[in-house]
Structure 1
Amino acid sequence: MKCAIACGVIEIADFQMAGGAAGRRIVVAMSGGVDSSVVAALAKASGAETIGVTLQLYDHGEATARPGACCAGRDIRDARAVCDQLGIAHYVFDHESSFRSQVVDRFADEYLAGRTPIPCVQCNMGPKFTDLFQLARDLGADCLATGHYVRRMVGADGPELHRAIDPARDQSYFLFATTGAQLDFLRFPLGGMPKDRVRAIAAEMGLGVAAKPDSQDICFVPDGDYAGLVRKLRPAAVAGGEIVDLSGQTLGRHEGIIHYTVGQRRGLDIGGQPEPLYVIRLEPETRRVIVGPRAALAVGAARLADLNVLGPLDRPLTAKVRSMARPVPARLHGHRLVFEAPEFGVAPGQAAVLYEGDRVLGGGWIAETESASLAA
């Protein structure tokens, strides 16, 4: 274990608080995967009393049948086994009802409304942070630690949120709604190292989850069939409608707008067109899918709702409008985000996360977009 602890010495420093970690209490959010397990090990190595907490998000019968999910049956057992090995307490709290109402139902409703949801952000805003925060405080914790790949750095005005050093693992996009008060209480010890180092620490410490595969991006849709889940939760979602071009001419029919997202090209089943067509927008009230050439996807500006501010926004910045997109130059005027150059595939329901270098300045939900030909 000495080598593993030496590998994690920088990450252990993330737990050092005024007066040192001895005599302090750290609550670790444990999903049952390798990341949160290593966080628990590093917290224990810091000298603080460490408690593992797992939120059960599915009923036991359903959870055991969900390979690739997190906070499920096997995952709870894995989290408990790691805590037993480390000699720390482990608690499981049933949050199935909260997860269903705040994340799963909202996911279905967003698709029905013609938007493209990001359930991982909603989960962080609800069960994983808000609920875990209260649990950690009820347990008398000095901080809450998670296995997210993001960095918490202390600047002149207090804690700041920064990208992880490993760009392939960075999760800052999904944490844009983290508040300043939450950053005061949070610790992210994995943001300063790559994934292979995390697995190496787990292996050297003999943790049984060292080689466990990562969970799915959307844990409650492990087979990737988003439309199937929405149909199950909202039977009305199967209502069909027309596929029309920008002039309103009918080109075909569809079997529910839940099968489409802005920017989609494949699966339109429209033949005989002179150029490739893309989904430009969705009209849930008329059940129409509007398609057009790629040029019609160019967005010049977007209106953001529920803006969360983590730093100064009155300056040139970069904006990331999809989890896998690169940040692009932009400026924020009130709640209106104006792109320096036309941006493609900007979809209502997604998030626009704002950066200055590696620092997260905040972000908001994309409520509506403006065509590049109209935005000024």
Structure 2
Amino acid sequence: MINEFEIEPLLANKVPKQTKIVVAMSGGVDSSTAAVLLHNLGYQVIGVTLELYSSNNSARKGACCAGQDIYDAKRVAETAGFPHYVLNYKEIFQKEVIDDFIENYTRGETPIPCVKCNQTVKFRDLLKVAQNLEADALVTGHYIRRIEKDGEAQLYSGLDKSKDQSYFLFATTIKQLKFLRFPLGAFHKNKVRELAEYFNLKIAQKPDSQDICFVADKYASTIAKLKPESLVKGKIVHVNGQVLGYHNGIINFTIGQRRGLGISSHEPLYVVKIDAKNQEVIVGSADKLMKNKLFVRELNWLAKDPIPSEGLEVTVKLRSLHNGSMARIYPTNESGSTEVILKDDYFGISPGQACVAYLGERVLGGGYIS
């Protein structure tokens, strides 16, 4: 069975028994299987689990990095026979991920905390831990591929497109990519579960974690609980300027939303803009949500060649489940914005979401939609 899961050596110049690796173990089937696979291949495996929040603070079933998941990760390591450590990162996670999520939502954006978590807590802080342990690499169970070409580490989408996580990892830096490894990127999820069964892992059929780990209910109710002052009443305004009603807080609305607006109209209305400064929700017809131009902030470019002045033809994903749109991306200007022109109009481009650029299956980079 294990022969079906041949992987490239994690380091080209080191045999497994001489290679020390830290595996980020969330307690789920993917990272657990990756750790045990590498342990069985002879690597010096050290499992590390980050405790990111108190489990009693999250009522969401299937959330990761707390409570049962920590126990599951520790049990896998003990059974396989490699060391495992639990690190308390609650304070850092609160500041870097939860507080950032709340701040962006109250600005009228739709943030992606999973990206921020990977960008900071996992690939910045945990990477430092791995280096302090004198590890040769940090391994995760993400479905994404790292391929070296001409001495350059490049990022590619996972082969299992139904599980591909490249959209959430666009913020991985070139420096981080040199140290990171993703051994599951070339496999399909069903095969990984089969391997977990082969290793007799009790979590082999454990459900995947769903949605945002620290959100117990709806996003708005979670934010209202964590930051009550965010519930500021305001107007619901038609794009023509007519006041149609009132709301109890902009955190209850997202771009493209149609249901639950709390107003009556003879035509279908959607949220087309959220004006956080004036606490107004702007609504209009569906055509007001069709756009072919957007701006991106904090662009992380992973290709060694910069974007040419005349722009570059790419495919972009504007949501995690977006199949992709043809576009041209232009160099970042002096104000820090990167312009993206889509070949065709797209419905409901949401500030705060990510715009990730691809060349075929390769991830060229990405940033947050302004």
> Structure 1 residue 157: deviation in Å?
4.6
Inter-CA distance 62–227: structure 2 relative to 1 (3 Å threshold): closer
Q: What letter matches 2:183 in structure 1?
A: P
- Partner in structure 1 of residue 290 of structure 2: 298
1:14–1:188 contact (8 Å) kept in structure 2: no
> Displaced runs of 4+ in structure 1, greater than 2 A?
13-17, 59-63, 312-315
The equivalent of 2:97 in structure 1 is 103
RMSD: 1.4
Write the distance in 1 (CA, Å) between the matches of 2:328 and 2:116.
25
Q: Distance in 2 between matches of 1:89 and 1:165?
A: 30
State yes or no: 1:197 paired with 2:200. Answer: no
Between the aligned partners of 1:139 and 1:196, the Cα distance in structure 2 is: 33
CA distance in 1, matches of 2:246, 2:125: 43
- One-letter amino acid of the structure 2 residue matched with residue 286 of structure 1: N
- Paired with 2:227 and 2:56, the residues of 1 have a C-alpha distance of 22
The one of 143, 158, 181 aligned to 1:187: 181
Q: Secondary structure at the match of 2:344?
A: strand
Q: Deviations over 1:292-315 (max 9, x none)?
A: 111111122111111100124442
Moved more, 110-119 or 247-256: 247-256
**Does structure 1 residue 236 correspond to structure 2 residue 229?**
yes
**Cα offset, 1:17, TM superposition:** 2.9
Equivalent position of 1:320 in the other structure: 317
Residue from 154, 171, 178 that aligns with 1:177: 171
Q: 2:37 aligned to 39, 42, 53, which one?
A: 42
Matched with 2:253 is 260
- Could you tell me which residue of structure 1 aligns to residue 242 of structure 2? 249
Amino acid of the structure 2 residue aligned with 1:307: L
AA matched with 2:94: R
Partner of 2:135: 141
Query: Percent identity at matched positions?
Result: 47
Q: Is the 8 A contact 2:216 2:222 kept in 1?
A: no
Is there any run of 5+ residues in structure 2 with no aligned partner, and where? 332-337
TM-score (norm 1): 0.93
The one-letter amino acid of 2:161's match is: P
SS of residue in 2 equivalent to 1:230:
helix
Cross-structure match for 2:13: 18
For 2:334, the equivalent position in structure 1 comes to: none
Relative to structure 1, is the Cα distance of residues 144 and 33 closer, same or farther in structure 2, using a 3 angstrom cutoff?
A: same
Scaled by the length of structure 2, the TM-score of the pair is 0.94
Encode CA deviations 1:311-340: one digit per residue, 9 max, x unaligned.
244421011111111210111122111111
Cα deviation digits, residues 135-162 of structure 1 (max 9, x gap): 1001110000001111111112511100
Of 258, 263, 266, 1:270 maps to 263
1:217 pairs, out of 194, 211, 222, with 211
Q: CA deviation at 1:269?
A: 2.6
CA shift at 1:208, angstroms? 1.0
Deviation, 1:46, is 2.4
Contact 2:49/2:65 (<8 A) preserved: yes
| 3-state secondary structure, aligned to 1:349 | coil
Are 1:331 and 2:328 counterparts?
A: yes
Q: Which residue of 22, 32, 48 maps to 1:27?
A: 22
Kindly provide the amino acid, as one letter, of the partner of residue 271 in structure 1. S
- Paired AA for residue 15 in structure 2: G
SS in 1 for 2:278: coil
- Quote the offset at 1:121 in angstroms: 0.3
Which moved further from structure 2: 187-196 or 304-313?
A: 304-313
Q: What is the alpha-carbon distance in structure 1 between the residues aligned to residue 56 and residue 114 of structure 2?
A: 23
Q: How far apart, in 2, do the equivalents of 1:27 and 1:239 lie? A: 45
SS at match of 1:279: strand
CA distance in 2, matches of 1:6, 1:148: 21
Deviation at 1:16, TM superposition (A): 4.5
Residue 57 of structure 1 pairs with residue 57 of structure 2: no
Query: Is the contact between residue 56 and residue 72 of structure 1 (CA under 8 Å) also seen in structure 2?
Result: yes
Write the letter of the residue equivalent to 2:365: G
What SS does the corresponding residue of 2:342 show, helix, strand or coil?
strand
Which of 356, 363, 367 matches 1:360?
363
Distance 1:205 1:323 in 2: 31
Output the CA distance in 2 between the equivalents of 1:200 and 1:79. Answer: 18
Q: Is the 8 A contact 2:9 2:16 kept in 1?
A: no
Q: Which moved more, 1:338-347 or 1:79-88?
A: 338-347
Amino acid at match of 2:51: Q
- 3-state SS of the aligned residue for 1:177? coil
Equivalent position amino acid for 1:356 in 2: L
